[in-house]
Amino acid sequence: MVSMDDLPVRDDLRGQVPYGAPQLEVAARLNVNENPFAPSEGLVADVAAAVADATRGLNRYPDRDAVALRADLAAYLGRESGVALVGDQLWAANGSNEVMHQLMLAFGGPGRTAIGFAPTYSMYPEYCRDTFTRYVAVPRDEGFRLSTATALEAIELHQPDIVLLASPNNPTGTALDLDVVKAVLDAAPGMVVVDEAYAEFRRAGTPSSLELLAGHPRLVVTRTMSKAFGLAGARLGYLAADPAVVTAVQLVRLPYHLSAVTQAVARAALVHSDELQAQVALLRDERDALVEWLRGNGFRVADSDANFVFFGEFDDRHAVWQSLLDRGVLIRETGPEQWLRVSVGTPEENAAFRAALEEVTR
């Protein structure tokens, strides 16, 4: 048996382990922020018909620019956020992870720097490693918020080619004020990427950075169908930006990266966006109730605009995590040492989580 390190693998990959949260079969899987509701039978039927139709053309390469899908995504964002967009401003790939990777390929690279505000999404350093981009993690403020002062100080110091802003942020759930994003856009010398993977879960009154696209050609807003849309298995993420950003990304994407089947599945699912919004409303209410319950029980809880809740503080979070798992509830150990993250599940799963946590921490 040879190990990876016996191979002439890149020096910076030696000894590293692949990204991945445990994929375990337990009663309540609340560890990767999926939508707990399976697609409706109506959606299943429409997706199946669309896939059958796409299959008839699988001897041909797919539309490499996914023109029809991008127009549908623009229309969806218009309905969701009230911001009018056209297909030329959209770009899609296999999950927003691939979109981000493409952005790093086009705008990062050797000699270039990206900054993120920690704790934040654990994949950002990996995209940077893959693209030979230097990554700088700047600590957030009290309560995991990000103030304009902290953001501007970091930009002044590091002069980043790319600023990565997750809003709502993972793992904390905290969203950004548009004033912060605006100040960053004014000060940053390069691209500003706002990762809105969880945007559909934001509370009333929390705006989307899509509102800032007009007049800001260096702003990119990324979204995904993996979370609110409940299509994590389909792998469809996208961005909205100036059409010039799309042109840049088209230089580095692999040929025919988005299969005809994926494009068909996404388009069929987008027809059902209203029905999915109803689930999102339920999950938001469950989230707010969970935050209140945790605070009522003496935990510290970050404000959440997402479909997960970040809570603490534990002297031995691993012991709590393990004891919950022993009771059939899988959550996530991520971010600062004393904190845990739980995804919002069905009302039954959330009740199971509360009961298990009460037992474990009594």
Ligand X SMILES: *Cc1c(COP(=O)(O)O)cnc(C)c1O
Beta bridge partners of 329: 28
Q: How many CB atoms neighbour CB 337 within 10 A?
A: 12
Q: Establish if 76 lies at the interface with ligand X (CB under 6 A).
A: no
Site string for ligand X, 32-61 (x = CB under 6 A): -x----------------------------
Q: Establish if 224 lies at the interface with ligand X (CB under 6 A).
A: yes
Q: Establish if 170 lies at the interface with ligand X (CB under 6 A).
A: yes
Applying CB under 6 A, among 31, 35, 81, 96 the residue interacting with ligand X is: 96
What SS3 class is residue 72? helix
Binding segment for ligand X (CB under 6 A), chosen from 14-22, 226-234, 287-295, 319-327, is: 226-234
DSSP 5: G
Q: How far is the CB of 15 from ligand X (least distance, A)?
A: 25
C-beta closer to ligand X: residue 22 or 57? 22
What SS3 class is residue 205? coil
Applying CB under 6 A, among 166, 176, 265, 283 the residue interacting with ligand X is: 166
Q: Which residues contact 29 (CB under 8 A, 6 or more apart)?
A: 330, 345
Alpha carbon distance, N-terminus to C-terminus of the chain: 47
C-beta closer to ligand X: residue 207 or 237? 237
CA–CA–CA angle 116, 221, 289 (5° rounding)? 80
Determine the Cα–Cα distance for residues 357 and 354; give it in Å rounded to an integer.
Answer: 5
Binding segment for ligand X (CB under 6 A), chosen from 90-98, 243-251, 335-343, 352-360, is: 90-98
Q: Establish if 200 lies at the interface with ligand X (CB under 6 A).
A: no
Overall residue count recorded for the chain in this entry: 362
# of chain residues touching ligand X (CB under 6 A): 14
Q: Establish if 226 lies at the interface with ligand X (CB under 6 A).
A: yes
Q: Establish if 209 lies at the interface with ligand X (CB under 6 A).
A: no
Q: How far is the CB of 218 from ligand X (least distance, A)?
A: 20
Task: Please name the residue that has the structure tokens 């009594």.
Answer: 362
b/e burial code for range 261-287 (CB count within 10 A of at least 16 → b): bbbbbbbbbbebbeebeebbeebbebb
Binding segment for ligand X (CB under 6 A), chosen from 54-62, 173-181, 225-233, 279-287, is: 225-233
Determine the Cα–Cα distance for residues 308 and 332; give it in Å rounded to an integer.
Answer: 10
Q: Which of residues 296-355 bind ligand X (CB under 6 A)?
A: none
Which phi-psi region, left, alpha or beta, contains residue 279 (left: φ > 0; alpha: ψ -120 to 50)? alpha
Beta bridge partners of 91: 239
Q: How far is the CB of 7 from ligand X (least distance, A)?
A: 28
Q: Establish if 121 lies at the interface with ligand X (CB under 6 A).
A: yes
Q: Establish if 197 lies at the interface with ligand X (CB under 6 A).
A: yes
C-beta closer to ligand X: residue 230 or 312? 230
Q: Establish if 131 lies at the interface with ligand X (CB under 6 A).
A: no
Applying CB under 6 A, among 35, 97, 172, 343 the residue interacting with ligand X is: 97
Determine the Cα–Cα distance for residues 133 and 127; give it in Å rounded to an integer.
Answer: 8
Residue 30 one-letter amino acid: L
Applying CB under 6 A, among 39, 62, 95, 190 the residue interacting with ligand X is: 95
Q: Establish if 237 lies at the interface with ligand X (CB under 6 A).
A: yes
The continuous run of DSSP H or E covering 220 comes out as strand 219-224
Q: How far is the CB of 358 from ligand X (least distance, A)?
A: 28
Q: Establish if 173 lies at the interface with ligand X (CB under 6 A).
A: no
What SS3 class is residue 86? coil
The answer to whether 165 and 152 have CB atoms below 8 angstroms apart is no
C-beta closer to ligand X: residue 224 or 263? 224
Binding segment for ligand X (CB under 6 A), chosen from 50-58, 60-68, 91-99, 268-276, is: 91-99
Q: Which residues contact 65 (CB under 8 A, 6 or more apart)?
A: 250
Q: Establish if 102 lies at the interface with ligand X (CB under 6 A).
A: no
Phi, psi for residue 108 in degrees, rounded to 5: -100, -150
Contact footprint for ligand X (CB under 6 A): 33, 95-97, 121, 166, 170, 195, 197, 224, 226-227, 232, 237
